[in-house]
Amino acid sequence: MTTAATTEIDVLGALLAFDFIGFAQKSAALDPTGPQYGQAVGAAFGLAARRRFPQGATAREISAHVAEFLGSLEAGAEDFDATALERLVADGLGDGPVRGGEHLDPERTMQARLVLTLRWVRELGLGPDGQRELLAEALPAV
Protein backbone atom coordinates (compact mmCIF):
# COMPACT_ATOMS: atom_id res chain seq x y z
CA MET A 1 0.00 0.00 0.00
CA THR A 2 1.37 3.37 -1.00
CA THR A 3 1.02 6.73 0.66
CA ALA A 4 -0.89 7.91 -2.44
CA ALA A 5 -3.40 5.07 -2.04
CA THR A 6 -3.90 5.87 1.63
CA THR A 7 -4.38 9.54 0.78
CA GLU A 8 -6.95 8.68 -1.89
CA ILE A 9 -8.87 6.52 0.58
CA ASP A 10 -8.71 9.39 3.09
CA VAL A 11 -10.08 11.75 0.39
CA LEU A 12 -12.97 9.38 -0.32
CA GLY A 13 -13.57 8.87 3.40
CA ALA A 14 -13.77 12.62 3.96
CA LEU A 15 -16.25 12.96 1.08
CA LEU A 16 -18.41 10.14 2.41
CA ALA A 17 -18.42 11.82 5.83
CA PHE A 18 -19.35 15.17 4.23
CA ASP A 19 -16.12 16.59 5.68
CA PHE A 20 -15.60 19.07 2.86
CA ILE A 21 -12.72 20.90 4.53
CA GLY A 22 -10.89 17.61 5.07
CA PHE A 23 -11.78 16.57 1.53
CA ALA A 24 -10.27 19.75 0.08
CA GLN A 25 -7.15 19.54 2.24
CA LYS A 26 -6.52 15.86 1.48
CA SER A 27 -7.29 16.32 -2.23
CA ALA A 28 -4.59 18.98 -2.44
CA ALA A 29 -2.02 16.33 -1.48
CA LEU A 30 -2.86 14.15 -4.51
CA ASP A 31 -0.67 14.23 -7.59
CA PRO A 32 -2.85 13.77 -10.70
CA THR A 33 0.29 13.12 -12.76
CA GLY A 34 1.44 10.27 -10.51
CA PRO A 35 1.52 6.79 -12.03
CA GLN A 36 -0.84 5.36 -9.42
CA TYR A 37 -3.27 8.28 -9.36
CA GLY A 38 -6.84 7.09 -9.05
CA GLN A 39 -6.13 3.42 -8.33
CA ALA A 40 -7.39 3.38 -4.74
CA VAL A 41 -10.52 5.36 -5.56
CA GLY A 42 -10.97 3.09 -8.59
CA ALA A 43 -10.83 0.03 -6.32
CA ALA A 44 -13.42 1.52 -3.94
CA PHE A 45 -15.54 2.54 -6.93
CA GLY A 46 -15.49 -1.03 -8.28
CA LEU A 47 -16.47 -2.44 -4.88
CA ALA A 48 -19.32 0.06 -4.57
CA ALA A 49 -20.48 -0.67 -8.14
CA ARG A 50 -20.62 -4.40 -7.45
CA ARG A 51 -22.55 -3.78 -4.24
CA ARG A 52 -24.96 -1.45 -6.04
CA PHE A 53 -25.43 -3.97 -8.88
CA PRO A 54 -24.82 -7.31 -7.12
CA GLN A 55 -26.19 -9.32 -10.06
CA GLY A 56 -24.37 -7.19 -12.62
CA ALA A 57 -26.17 -4.88 -14.99
CA THR A 58 -27.07 -4.80 -18.64
CA ALA A 59 -25.96 -1.94 -20.86
CA ARG A 60 -29.55 -0.68 -20.78
CA GLU A 61 -29.63 -0.75 -16.96
CA ILE A 62 -26.32 1.10 -16.77
CA SER A 63 -27.53 3.67 -19.29
CA ALA A 64 -30.77 4.22 -17.35
CA HIS A 65 -28.88 4.54 -14.08
CA VAL A 66 -26.45 7.08 -15.55
CA ALA A 67 -29.32 9.07 -17.09
CA GLU A 68 -31.11 9.14 -13.73
CA PHE A 69 -27.87 10.10 -11.97
CA LEU A 70 -27.20 12.95 -14.39
CA GLY A 71 -30.81 14.09 -14.09
CA SER A 72 -30.43 14.31 -10.32
CA LEU A 73 -27.47 16.68 -10.49
CA GLU A 74 -28.57 20.27 -10.18
CA ALA A 75 -25.25 21.73 -11.22
CA GLY A 76 -22.30 20.10 -12.87
CA ALA A 77 -24.20 17.50 -14.91
CA GLU A 78 -22.92 19.17 -18.05
CA ASP A 79 -19.41 18.29 -16.88
CA PHE A 80 -20.02 14.58 -17.47
CA ASP A 81 -20.42 12.72 -20.74
CA ALA A 82 -23.09 10.02 -20.29
CA THR A 83 -21.25 7.47 -22.42
CA ALA A 84 -18.02 8.03 -20.48
CA LEU A 85 -19.91 7.45 -17.21
CA GLU A 86 -21.50 4.32 -18.65
CA ARG A 87 -18.01 3.10 -19.53
CA LEU A 88 -16.80 3.77 -15.98
CA VAL A 89 -19.72 1.88 -14.47
CA ALA A 90 -19.27 -1.08 -16.84
CA ASP A 91 -15.55 -1.13 -16.07
CA GLY A 92 -16.30 -0.95 -12.33
CA LEU A 93 -18.59 -3.94 -12.67
CA GLY A 94 -15.90 -5.79 -14.58
CA ASP A 95 -18.04 -5.87 -17.73
CA GLY A 96 -15.41 -4.30 -19.95
CA PRO A 97 -15.47 -0.98 -21.68
CA VAL A 98 -18.45 0.57 -23.40
CA ARG A 99 -17.59 1.82 -26.87
CA GLY A 100 -17.86 5.43 -27.97
CA GLY A 101 -18.21 8.66 -26.11
CA GLU A 102 -15.71 10.94 -24.51
CA HIS A 103 -12.69 9.49 -22.72
CA LEU A 104 -12.26 11.08 -19.33
CA ASP A 105 -8.81 12.27 -18.30
CA PRO A 106 -7.45 10.98 -14.96
CA GLU A 107 -8.75 13.94 -12.95
CA ARG A 108 -12.22 13.73 -14.50
CA THR A 109 -12.23 9.97 -13.97
CA MET A 110 -11.37 10.48 -10.32
CA GLN A 111 -14.10 13.12 -9.97
CA ALA A 112 -16.72 10.89 -11.60
CA ARG A 113 -15.74 7.89 -9.48
CA LEU A 114 -15.89 9.94 -6.29
CA VAL A 115 -19.33 11.34 -7.08
CA LEU A 116 -20.77 7.99 -8.18
CA THR A 117 -19.29 6.18 -5.18
CA LEU A 118 -20.83 8.77 -2.86
CA ARG A 119 -24.16 8.29 -4.60
CA TRP A 120 -24.03 4.49 -4.28
CA VAL A 121 -22.98 4.59 -0.63
CA ARG A 122 -26.04 6.74 0.05
CA GLU A 123 -28.33 4.49 -2.05
CA LEU A 124 -27.05 1.41 -0.23
CA GLY A 125 -27.56 3.09 3.14
CA LEU A 126 -23.99 2.42 4.24
CA GLY A 127 -23.45 4.08 7.57
CA PRO A 128 -20.05 4.86 9.07
CA ASP A 129 -19.23 1.20 9.75
CA GLY A 130 -20.19 0.13 6.22
CA GLN A 131 -18.20 3.01 4.78
CA ARG A 132 -15.09 2.07 6.80
CA GLU A 133 -15.49 -1.52 5.63
CA LEU A 134 -15.68 -0.43 1.98
CA LEU A 135 -12.59 1.77 2.35
CA ALA A 136 -10.63 -0.92 4.19
CA GLU A 137 -11.57 -3.45 1.50
CA ALA A 138 -10.32 -1.13 -1.24
CA LEU A 139 -6.79 -0.65 0.11
CA PRO A 140 -5.52 -4.22 -0.34
CA ALA A 141 -6.90 -4.19 -3.89
CA VAL A 142 -4.43 -1.46 -4.88
Question: For 31-64, how does the pLDDT look when each residue is reduced to its tens digit (9 = 90+)?
Answer: 998 888 999 999 999 999 999 999 989 999 999 9
CB 67 within 8 A of CB 73: no
The residue type of 45 is F
The alpha-carbon radius of gyration of the chain (Å, integer) is 14
Give the pLDDT band of residue 103 (cuts 50, 70, 90).
low
What is the rounded end-to-end Cα distance, in angstroms, of the chain?
Answer: 7
Task: Tell the burial category of 137 from Cβ atoms under 10 Å away from its Cβ (0-12, 13-18, 19+).
Answer: middle
Tens of pLDDT, residues 65-102: 999 988 887 665 567 888 889 999 999 998 654 444 45
Is the pLDDT score of 27 beyond 80? yes
Q: What is the pLDDT of residue 95?
A: 64
pLDDT value for 71? 84
Report the predicted TM-score, pTM, of the whole model to 2 decimal places: 0.88
